[in-house]
Amino acid sequence: MKKAEAWRYLIVTGMIACTLVLVEYTGTVEVDDSLPVKSDLPRTIDGWVGVRTLYCQNEVCGKMLPMNLAEAGVNTCPLCGAKVSSMSVAERKHLPVDTIIIRKNYRNESTNRWILVSVVISGRERSSIHRPEWCLPGQGYRIAAYRHESVACEDHRSLPVTFIKIQAPGSLSTLQYGWFCYWFISKTHEVGSQTARLAWMAWDNVFYGVFRKWAYVSILADRVDSEQEEYDVEILKDFIKELRMVIRP
């Protein structure tokens, strides 16, 4: 761990410890249940057309339904007949019950590229959202590089977003990469890292006595040729700018 990173962790840990002590001595923290983002994703985002993603709820099968079936409004798994849901079996098992997950697969018809958008809205427990980097290797992705980008938004804000260049599972060519990008939204803040999110959470608890819900917004984009890297980043930034506009309440 780098020195600066170690300091950040130390500060966040200190703030969380302070919160616990203060809550212990000053009473309970008020929970603000209002959602930081809308509870659904739109049908289209800037020319990209979205389809819900659905997962079979049978633990043995657990397949993701093909997009055409999801689009047709099928509500049982064509392989085993079990119910389907927007949450995978693993997510349902490991996340607190009041966690909300909204997901859509967006396709651009002219380029035939896709972007999977996932929004996880935390419940009353802290464990709904964890460090994104923990999940990627578990799903078979290799992390190749990090970029900290800022996306210029229409309200003159600059949105911090973490871009992770990933190598997809089973990809043999080192030229083939994809992108995983994320940021976090609460009613009062938008940040590009888990450390910053935890720091604001502790700040809200300590100084305002409130626990706010957070949304973890991520996008997964398909494989691209590494020679197009800068072009891809710009396309994704445009998409993120529009996505932010349509999901804010």
Residues that bind Zn ion (CB under 5 A): 56, 58, 61, 77, 79-80, 82
**Which residue lies nearer to Zn ion by CB, 76 or 195?**
76
210 beta partners: 30
The CB-of-67 to Zn ion minimum distance in angstroms stands at 16
Q: What are phi and psi of 126, to 5 degrees?
A: -75, -20
Q: Which is nearer to Zn ion, 56 or 220 (CB)?
A: 56
Structure tokens at 146: 């990090």
CB 93 to Zn ion: min, Å: 16
Given a contact cutoff of 8 angstroms between Cβ atoms, the answer to whether 179 and 165 are in contact is yes
Closer to Zn ion by Cβ: residue 54 or 221: 54
**Smallest gap, in angstroms, from Cβ of residue 222 to Zn ion?**
25
Nearest CA to 110 among 176, 47, 45, 52? 47
Write the Ramachandran bin of 222: left for phi over 0, alpha for psi from -120 to 50, otherwise beta. Answer: beta
Based on C-alpha coordinates, what's the Rg of the chain? Answer: 19
The least CB distance from residue 69 to Zn ion, in Å, is 11
Name the residue nearer to Zn ion (CB basis): 90 or 245.
90
Which one, 80 or 245, has the nearer CB to Zn ion?
80
Cβ contacts of 177 within 8 Å, gap of 6 or more: 144, 165, 166, 167, 168, 223, 224, 226, 229
Q: Decide whether 22 or 67 has the Cβ nearer to Zn ion.
A: 67
For residue 242, which amino acid is it? E
Cβ at position 6, least distance to Zn ion in Å: 46
With respect to Zn ion, which residue has the nearer C-beta, 82 or 243?
Answer: 82
Q: How far is CA 159 from the centre of its chain?
A: 15
Return the beta strands (E) in the chain as ranges. 30-32, 44-45, 48-52, 55-56, 84-85, 100-108, 113-121, 142-152, 158-167, 176-185, 190-191, 210-212, 215-225
Residue among 95, 170, 92 nearest 130 (CA): 95
Q: How far is the CB of 102 from Zn ion (least distance, A)?
A: 22
Cβ 72 to Zn ion shortest distance, Å: 16
